[in-house]
Amino acid sequence: MPPTRPSKKQSDQDSFLSVDIGGTNVTCGLVSRGGAVLATDIFPRAKGGDGPDELIGTIVGRFKKLWAAADEAHRPTAVAIGAPGWIKPKEGVVVNAPNLAGWVDVPITQIMSQALGLPAMLENDSNLYALGEWLAGAGRGSDNQITVTLGTGVGAGLILNGQLWSGSFTSAAEIGHIPLGPAHRVKCGCGRIGCLETVASATAMARMAREWLDSGRETLYADSAEGLNAQVLAELAEKGDAMSIHVFREVGVALGQILSGVFNLLSLERAVLGGGGAGAFQFIKDPLLEYLETRLVTAKIHEIQVVKGTLGTNAPLVGAAVLLTAGGY
């Protein structure tokens, strides 16, 4: 079903429940039909993996609290679920998710719908994120764009001719699993070797920094390797740290390599970078654009835009309003 911008036909008063199941955190929220985020509840995933029964039960509990706290005017009328990995949106099934251990063929829409007594829709987490940025964030005003999320993994959502591109099978735009080439030998969560995700995810940024640390090269970082993450690296890069700047250059070049193919294939006009790893956007952008410039054939480099997302963890909640309105709820 092609998502469109929310219409005013239904009541602007009612609202939707939405959940974004990330690799590290889960974000639950209540969002108005127009895309205004009314309430959020963010909690960390259980260490060592949480199976579907446990995690869905927790989300339902959190949803009931958000529902109870909603005033009479904002009673939720439907639920949107954003899940990572390979999903079947039409069937409402999470097929297999590398970052959700133990989740295989989980009919999450049916389970959530029965538990809450509300209709539910499932979409890939990155697609919801892209819909949010397109409606109300850095994607506004462009109808041919890709939003790339740099988190535990690397996901993407494609808006083509003003509609979310879903493809024929599981959700489309699995950019994180496009191979970078023979020089890249790190095994990906999907089981394959050298996917974009093995360089450009926030997880990979921390790994590359640990490798730098292990090699004894110069860095301003003086704490333990376990304390390294994308946010720490972004703060170090601001101070001119060679390790962090090296990591973000690697990320920028890898993204430039894959995005040059995507831009050329689809003649896009914009790429939005979101997720925790995009906190270092200013250090990723230049190497990315330098690479793009050498490869772009469908446009001049000044005609396209690579921008940082503006909605953060609210992006998939805003995207839920687009999805559910388009679904007729």
Does the footprint of Zn ion cover residue 188 (CB under 5 A)? yes
CB atoms within 10 A of CB 1: 13
Least separation in angstroms between CB 68 and Zn ion: 40
Number of residues that bind Zn ion (CB under 5 A): 5
Least separation in angstroms between CB 297 and Zn ion: 27
Does the footprint of Zn ion cover residue 177 (CB under 5 A)? yes
Which has the closest alpha carbon to 207: 222, 193, 190, 187? 187
Least separation in angstroms between CB 179 and Zn ion: 8
The alpha carbon of residue 224 and the mean position of all alpha carbons in its chain are separated, in whole angstroms, by: 28
CA–CA separation, 142 and 154 (whole Å): 22
Which residue stretch of 180-188, 199-207, 229-237, 269-277 sits at the interface with Zn ion (rule: CB under 5 A)? Answer: 180-188
Does the footprint of Zn ion cover residue 195 (CB under 5 A)? yes
Angle between helices 108-116 and 52-69 (to 10 degrees): 40
CA–CA separation, 150 and 144 (whole Å): 20
Nearer to Zn ion, 27 or 99 (CB): 99
Q: Which strand ranges, in their side-by-side order, compose the sheet holding 120-124?
A: 37-44, 25-32, 15-21, 76-83, 120-124
Which residue stretch of 73-81, 112-120, 187-195, 313-321 sits at the interface with Zn ion (rule: CB under 5 A)? Answer: 187-195
Least separation in angstroms between CB 310 and Zn ion: 28
CA–CA separation, 85 and 82 (whole Å): 10
Least separation in angstroms between CB 178 and Zn ion: 9
φ/ψ of 34, rounded to 5, equals: -80, -5
CA–CA separation, 114 and 108 (whole Å): 10
Which residue stretch of 144-152, 171-179, 229-237, 280-288 sits at the interface with Zn ion (rule: CB under 5 A)? Answer: 171-179
Which residue stretch of 155-163, 186-194, 282-290, 309-317 sits at the interface with Zn ion (rule: CB under 5 A)? Answer: 186-194
Nearer to Zn ion, 195 or 251 (CB): 195
Least separation in angstroms between CB 69 and Zn ion: 39
Does the footprint of Zn ion cover residue 190 (CB under 5 A)? yes
Cβ atoms of residues 321 and 16 within 8 Å: yes
Nearer to Zn ion, 100 or 131 (CB): 100
Where does this chain bind Zn ion (CB under 5 A)? Answer: 177, 188, 190, 192, 195
